[in-house]
Structure 1
Amino acid sequence: MVKRRHITALFIIGLVMVLIGYFSDKKIQQDLDDDRYRLEVMEDTVNDGWYYEIYFENHLALRQKFIPSISEKRFFITERDAKKTGSLVLERLKSGKSPTISKDDLYKLGITF
């Protein structure tokens, strides 16, 4: 009777460990899956500028119409500027960091404002 309890307990512990390993591996794979995130850069022809949007699992997560961290509301002057800034935000989101952009980040990226 005692032996049967031990075998049952070991079986349950083993099953729990397998399930934990399975779901942990799925979470790690999901975190590394770049297809969940997407950056789109668009032109605003009315305001003569550029902006970017970041999608997470095909849902709009962020729309950045204006250059962040500056006091004026200015669109990005070039598509390249919007793409560089959006790419940095995307990289930070993917790595679990704050997506906040500082003026120093803008200077390092060579963003004109």
Structure 2
Amino acid sequence: MIKKYWIYAFFIFAVVLFAYKRLVKQEQAVAGIVTVKTFHTGMGWGYDVLKDDAIYIHQEYMPAIEGRKGFATEADAKKIGNLVVERMKARAFPVITVEDLDRAPVLR
């Protein structure tokens, strides 16, 4: 009797795992692989958001602030680039505000 329940439990687990993997694979196929790559500029640091290894967003300076000023550190550029990627994956508009920069916190 106990063996029978283990077989049912294993079967249900396998079906759920298979369905989950299939959903993840479909989501990646639709959304593509999105990554962040930082780079150094004459103004400081910037970032590229790559979708399937092609540049999707090229950001040479800090968004949401007046003027053109690069990020002070590579880590700051990476933080904001990752925030953009998170919003893209959540299917939200990837806009960065001054409040986002303050919450990160990013040196200005």
TM-score for the superposition, normalised by structure 1: 0.68
User: Paired residues, what number?
Assistant: 87
> Cα deviation per residue 1:47-83 (whole Å; 9 max; x = unaligned)?
1510000111111100011100001100001001000
- Structure 1 gaps of 5+ residues are 1-24
| Aligned position for 1:10 | none
Compute the RMSD of aligned alpha carbons.
2.2
CA distance in 2, matches of 1:27, 1:63: 30
CA distance in 1, matches of 2:54, 2:95: 20
Match of residue 29, structure 1, among 16, 25, 32 = 25
Do the aligned partners of 2:43 and 2:69 also contact (CA within 8 Å) in 1?
A: no
| Aligned position for 1:13 | none
Runs of 4+ in 1 over 6 A off after TM superposition: none
TM-score for the superposition, normalised by structure 2: 0.71
- Structure 2 counterpart SS, 1:43: strand
Identity among equivalent pairs (%): 28
Match of residue 57, structure 2, among 62, 66, 80 = 62
Greater C-alpha radius of gyration: 1
CA distance in 2, matches of 1:104, 1:32: 30
Does structure 1 residue 105 correspond to structure 2 residue 90? no
Does structure 1 residue 50 correspond to structure 2 residue 41? no
- Structure 2 gaps of 5+ residues are 1-20
